[in-house]
A and B are shown apart, each in its own frame.
Chain A
Amino acid sequence: MAFRPLPLTGVANNPAKGANVFDSVLKSLPNNAITQQPFDSVGSNDGGYVVGPTFVIPANMGGLYLIVAFVTFNNPPNAGYREAAIRLNGAPIIWDNSGVGPFGNMACAPTILRPLVPGDVVDVTAFQNSGLACNTFGAFRLFRVAA
């Protein structure tokens, strides 16, 4: 499948359209429950993508997207499984697993290059089973690299 690259902007050759959201405060993630990461702040929204903690592809903005999520598990109380997933229309399309332990901060960074069409909804879920709730914070971005 081939895509036509979009014009780049600025001295840094940044892709023309995209958005990013992030957590402005630590978010409590319950034990053993897949939970949508509740991003609460908008860093940029060039193209009208951001709707709450999710991205929705606007009309006429279909194309090839780079989607990058990043969830840090902040000092989980016990060893266990940590996972973050990028979802498309409610179903995971890619996971990133940090596995079992050790204690301390751990990061999951699922990334995918994916064609999206208008109306597609993209969000992030996190999971951990340390036995207790633990704090997370993260960021989520997408940008359109080709039409």
Chain B
Amino acid sequence: MTFRYHSTPTGLNPRRGATVSVAAFTAVPAGGVVPFNVVNENILGLYVVGSTLVIPPRMGGVYIMAGQLLFPVNVTGGRTANIQRVTPVGPVTRVIGGDSAGAGQGGTGITGFAPSLCPSVIQDLAVGDIISLLYAQSSGGNLVGCSASFSMYRMAQ
């Protein structure tokens, strides 16, 4: 397999991907789906359905996916971010990439500002696959002032 890099006439930006983010991600409970509500970029024409990204017709292929979660709170506890893929046939739900820190994930807990979590994965996605970013935190209460973004680029057909 070879990744093909498509450059623009200026050679500056392939712009063949999609990025979504959350404008206000406050009062975050113990776990759930990151509620993306801003489409920063969507050059591929991916279907943005609520907080998920769906692979449209003719857009199957190898994708690189990267999420970022920030938990700017001074609360001890574990933090997890996972990339989830749902294939409608079956259906089959799988966690395909993840990142975690702190208590509950084998660590000793976090005090002070939590690190940035950066789950990433390269996968061969099929038309209709549904991608979302899941999170979990074990602070014992809601977290205030979190932020998240998610990007995916099509690398090969």
Contacts and interface: CB of A to CB of B under 8 A. Distances in A.
Interface of A: 1-5, 8, 12-15, 18, 20, 22-26, 41, 43-44, 64, 66, 68, 70, 72, 74, 93-94, 96, 98, 104-115, 137-139, 141, 143, 145-146
A105 B38 contact: no
Contacts of A41: 115-116
Given A4-B2, A105-B23, A13 B116 contact: no
Interface in B126-157: 145, 147, 149, 151, 153, 155-156
B99 to A, nearest CB: 9
B96 interface: yes
Contact of A5 (B3, B68, B119, B123): B3
A5 B4 CA distance: 10
Contact of A105 (B13, B20, B147): B147
B16 A143 contact: no
A111 B19 contact: yes
B61 interface: no
A107 B23 contact: yes
Interface residues of B, number: 47
Given A25-B113, A26-B72, A114-B14, 5 more contacts: A13-B97, A20-B116, A72-B70, A94-B13, A105-B147
Contact of B3 (A2, A23, A138, A143): A2
A41 B7 CA distance: 32
28 contacts: A3-B2, A3-B4, A5-B2, A8-B122, A12-B120, A13-B96, A14-B121, A18-B120, A24-B112, A41-B115, A43-B115, A70-B70, A72-B70, A74-B145, A94-B12, A105-B26, A107-B40, A108-B40, A111-B151, A113-B14, A113-B64, A113-B153, A115-B5, A137-B72, A137-B147, A139-B116, A141-B66, A146-B155
Contact of B68 (A68, A114, A143, A146): A68
Contact of B13 (A25, A93, A104): A93
Given A104-B23, A105-B147, A113-B16, A3 B40 contact: no
A109 B40 CA distance: 7
A66 B70 contact: no
Given A15-B120, A113-B17, A141-B66, A2 B4 contact: yes
B47 interface: no
A68 B149 contact: yes
B134 to A, nearest CB: 13
B122 A13 contact: yes
B93 to A, nearest CB: 16
A57 B46 CA distance: 31
Contacts of A106: 23
Contact of B70 (A104, A110, A139): A139
Contacts of B115: 22, 41, 43
